[in-house]
Amino acid sequence: MRGVLGLQIAANGIGLAVVIAYLQFLAPLPVRQDDNLSPIVLGIYLAVMVLVALPTNVLLLRRAVRWVRETQPPTRDQRRLLYRLPTLETLSALVTWVGGAVLFVALNPDQGRLGLSITIAGVVTCTMLYLLLEGHFRPVFALALKHDDLPEGRRDVLPRLMLAWLLGSGTPLLALGLSPVSDAGSFDPDRLPWVAAFGLLAGGAVMMVAATSVARPLNRVRYALRKVEQGELDVELPVDDLGELGRLAEGVNELVGGLREREELRDLFGRQVGTPHLAELAAAGGFDAGGERREVTVLFVDLQGYTAYSERQRPEAVVAMLNRFFRVVVAVVNREGGWVNKFEGDAALCVFGAPQDQPDHAARALRAAVGLRRQLSMTPGVLPAGVGVASGEALAGFVGTPERFEYTVIGDCVNVASRLCEQAKNQRSGVLVSHDSVRLAEPIDESTGEWVSAGRVRIRGRSERIPTFTMPMSRFRRG
């Protein structure tokens, strides 16, 4: 409220000072000894207008922004009054200027030229006041527009610039054109430079205010788009303009909101499928590719005694235990560069070598198997688990329909890893690895660990036994 009153006093004071300077130095009034009434009447008029306009403006302002102090959303009437407030606050000043010009001419009938000059000065002053008030109310407009849509069909940029041109260029030209007529044949060409200088300064001031009111929101938009280009999606522009500039800011916010939502969905999908690479592959149309043959290593991990445990415990306790178990699985597998393809009840299927190429996929899987047994044994409240690892050729790609699909690997090595996981629960180490995985991981080094033969085991669904390896308990305890 103090800002509004300050702008009104400053704008009207500058306009009044210009008129006084004009009358004092450029076009002094002829001194009339019998005219003692005009200054008194004009003084009384100004005092009355101030006493009437000031309380009226304060009352309108209080009614329009009361909801801000009450920290409540504005009502429909309050929003409507707020949007009209710059016009209403300026209108009282315009009425004062025009009324003063009319009263001046009525007291001085032979000074029509000065009455016209006062009117033009008042119009220029009120235009500048309107533009300043509109900028001053922008923060309150932004608060109100959080609870309201932008007014339909409102245009501000073109009227604002055209008004600035009219008052900055059109009004001085109009004053020059009417000077001979208003002077009633006493036009003095020597005043042309002064009128031109006044038009230049006043027009420049009005145009500067109008251009600033347009350039400032555009600079905010440009700065926001630059941040978006750099990957910062926490940008939100204040919608504080009722016209095209407000719709531009609103459009930028909707654009950034859409990008932010897309990134959140991408991140969520990446976590759902286990790796962000799959989210990019799916977005690029990977579903239609039909998959590709890859040599991969599959790690299958399954809890031991889960059925009996879930019968004895409350569902909340079972879920808590599963979350601790899967947290270890995800951490270990991610550390070795693999990805958890899916959770299956109390088991997890992990893949190395797809969808990214990993020439050392077998060595990664073996390190993950050792790390899993080690981390699970140190995690309290988690059941023992069996780990099976197998390598071979598989088809890696999306399966399902366009409405519902998932990325997975299909091949004999997946079945072998699952069967070895079942057999691993009978091993002291809890780990069984196929011969192919150990062969592909050669040469075995300190990071891969020591592996000893566990003999040939029969795999359900196969007629022949397959050679397997396991982790020696001595090595497991040293780790």
pTM here is: 0.53
Q: Which of 399, 292, 329 is nearest to 321 (CA)?
A: 329
Segment 325-343 mean pLDDT: 91
Burial pattern 390-424, b for ≥16 Cβ within 10 A else e, equals bbbebbbbbeeeeeeeebbbebebbbbbbbbbbbb
Q: Which residue has the higher pLDDT, 281 or 34?
A: 281
Chain segment 227-286, per-residue pLDDT in tens:
888 888 888 888 877 777 888 888 888 888 888 877 776 666 656 555 556 656 655 555
Tens-digit pLDDT profile for residues 388-404: 999 999 988 877 776 67
The mean predicted confidence, pLDDT, of the chain is 78
Residue 347 confidence (pLDDT) above 70: yes
Residue owning tokens 């309107």? 130
Amino acid identity of 372?
L
Distance CA 247, CA 218 (A): 12
Q: Which residues on neighbouring strands pair with residue 433, listed in sequence order?
A: 389, 469
Separation of alpha carbons 417 and 413, rounded Å: 6
Residue 150's closest CA among 221, 261, 238? 238
Residue 148: predicted pLDDT = 76
Most confident of 51-60, 154-163, 426-435: 426-435
Count of alpha carbons within 13 Å of 143, Cβ hemisphere only? 18
The structural domains of the chain, ordered by start, are 2-229 (no CATH), 292-478 (3.30.70.1230)
Residue 167: pLDDT band (50, 70, 90) is low
Query: Residue 237 in contact with residue 221, Cβ under 8 Å?
Result: yes
Place 329 in a pLDDT band, splitting at 50, 70 and 90. Answer: very high
Q: What is the pLDDT of residue 479?
A: 47
Neighbours of 80 (CB within 10 A): 14
Which of the 8 DSSP states describes residue 286?
G
Q: Burial of 28 by CB count in 10 Å (0-12 exposed, 13-18 middle, 19+ buried)? A: exposed
Give the whole-number percent of the chain exceeding pLDDT 90. 20
Residue 327's pLDDT band, with cuts at 50, 70 and 90, is: very high
